[in-house]
Amino acid sequence: MSFRHLIDFGDLTRGEWEEIYNRCQDIMDHTKDYMDVCKGMIQGNLFFEPSTRTKFSFQTAMLRLGGSVFGFDDPKSSSTAKGESLKDTIKMVSAYADVIVMRNPKEGAAKAASLYSEVPVINAGDGGHMHPTQTLADLTTVQRFRGAIDGVSIGICGDLKNGRTVHSLIKALAKFENVRFYLIAPRELAIPDYVRAFMQEQHLWFAEVTGLEPVIPRLDVLYMTRIQRERFIDPLAYERNKGIYVLTKRKLERAKKDMMVLHPLPRVDEITLDVDDDPRAMYFEQARCGMYARMALLMDLARQGHRKTEPVEIGTNPLCENPNCITQAERYLPPLVKKNGGSLCCAYCDSQLTD
Ligand code: NCD
């Protein structure tokens, strides 16, 4: 089997997800049995962007498996502040660690890192693009507490343009049968074109709507997200959209008695505090599931050992025009292209390429 990273949930087959989930269940029920599984292994955490849950859950996951963790959570304290390239940082850290967990503000950064790393790279969020391990937490919660993911009607609400957890979740849910998606967002925060093209290509059932209340009664899962302030180029656009969706106890009255409310957290104001005590509010449980799901993932990826990397072509001019794409910042990256929904896309950030 070829060397595996986790960059995009599309990298996993449904069978691989099921293996991770089954292991995760066993870890949840018999955590102590796993305390030496990654004994002697070292995880390098490169957090170029703020994080609470993802960073702590990856740290505690590795510690619970008997391994150790080093890294930074402020790039100002690393050589990046001196102008070091992502390539060089990854080359170095992959010599020290057995697995790299990276969060970076640039879209496609994890894919770029995987080209140079001798050890598996796990994408802990690349700009507004993808966040596959949050999706592990999301799916684990639905599978464990609902019993099945097939057939679920899910409302995904909030900033669907910039919310990376949303893009990964849609990619993952495409692997299941008869999922119905209600995509609830103001028009200017609708899903990016590449996600829509993917959904069309996969023949997924989806409705893009602007109102939360009319669709609430139809949902089995409501996935709330915050408006991603830090991704807005125009501060007025943030002001226009902040506070646009707020889930309250009153709105929940119209929901199914067993609907699950999920949220990747952090919450700003999109779920009122009085919802927290409703049995349908599963977001803190979801964060807990995330640690166990990451344990199951680490067991799988971190134990692959080191590999020798292939030489990588040196790029000269980025093909991709997305200003947030990693190829715009790290200009030596080779131009990589892939097909999505019939059109050519940047293989780092998925943006459609203009010819
Ligand atoms: C999310 C993220 O970082 O994308 N948080 C997380 O990892 N749990 C969601 C968010 O920041 O809104």
Query: If you take atom 11 of ligand 1, which residue's CA is the nearest one?
Result: 266
Candidate of 45, 47, 48, 54 to mutate for ligand 1, largest count of ligand atoms within 8 Å of Cβ? 54
Question: What is the dihedral sign for C-alpha 307, 305, 127, 342?
Answer: positive
pLDDT at 1: 57
Query: Could you give the CA distance from residue 61 to residue 1 in angstroms, rounded to a whole number?
Result: 25
pLDDT at 252: 98
Centre of ligand 1 to C-alpha 131, Å, is: 8
In the block, residue with structure tokens 């080093």: 70
User: What value does the CA radius of gyration of the chain take, rounded to a whole number of Å?
Assistant: 20
Helix (H) or strand (E) holding 70: strand 68-72
Longest alpha-carbon distance in the chain: 58
Query: If you take atom 8 of ligand 1, which residue's CA is the nearest one?
Result: 264
Task: Answer yes or no: are the C-beta atoms of 199 and 181 closer than 8 Å.
Answer: yes
Query: Could you give the CA distance from residue 38 to residue 302 in angstroms, rounded to a whole number?
Result: 8
Query: Could you give the CA distance from residue 239 to residue 67 in angstroms, rounded to a whole number?
Result: 44
Q: Is the peptide bond before 323 cis (omega within 30 degrees of 0)?
A: no
Position in ligand 1 atom list of the atom nearest CA 228: 12
Task: Answer yes or no: are the C-beta atoms of 115 and 144 closer than 8 Å.
Answer: no
Which of helix, strand or coil describes residue 181?
A: strand
Answer yes or no: is the C-beta of 226 below 6 A from any ligand 1 atom: yes
Answer yes or no: is the C-beta of 4 below 6 A from any ligand 1 atom: no
pLDDT at 317: 87
Helix (H) or strand (E) holding 106: none
Query: Exposed, middle or buried, 135 (CB in 10 Å: 0-12/13-18/19+)?
Result: buried
Q: For strands 68-72 and 42-47, give the pairing.
A: parallel
Answer yes or no: is the C-beta of 290 below 6 A from any ligand 1 atom: no
Centre of ligand 1 to C-alpha 178, Å, is: 27
Query: Could you give the CA distance from residue 300 to residue 342 in angstroms, rounded to a whole number?
Result: 33
Domains observed in the chain = 9-131+290-301 (3.40.50.1370), 133-283 (3.40.50.1370)
Query: If you take atom 7 of ligand 1, which residue's CA is the nearest one?
Result: 54
* pTM score of the predicted model: 0.97
pLDDT in tens, the chain (355 residues): 588 999 999 999 999 999 999 999 999 999 999 999 999 999 999 999 999 999 999 999 999 999 999 999 988 877 787 889 999 999 999 999 999 999 999 999 999 999 999 999 999 999 999 999 999 999 999 999 999 999 999 999 999 999 999 999 999 999 999 999 999 999 999 999 999 999 999 999 999 999 999 999 999 999 999 999 999 999 999 999 999 999 999 999 999 999 999 999 999 999 999 999 999 999 999 999 999 999 999 999 999 999 999 999 999 888 999 999 999 999 999 999 999 877 899 999 999 998 6
Answer yes or no: is the C-beta of 125 below 6 A from any ligand 1 atom: yes
pLDDT at 175: 97
Which of helix, strand or coil describes residue 130?
A: strand
Please give the full DSSP string across 234-285, using - where no structure is assigned: SHHHHHHHTT---B-HHHHTTS-TTPEEE--S--SSSB-GGGTTSTTB-HHH
Nearest to 69 by CA among 307, 309, 300, 298: 298
Task: Answer yes or no: are the C-beta atoms of 44 and 207 closer than 8 Å.
Answer: no
User: Which one-letter amino acid corresponds to residue 44?
Assistant: G
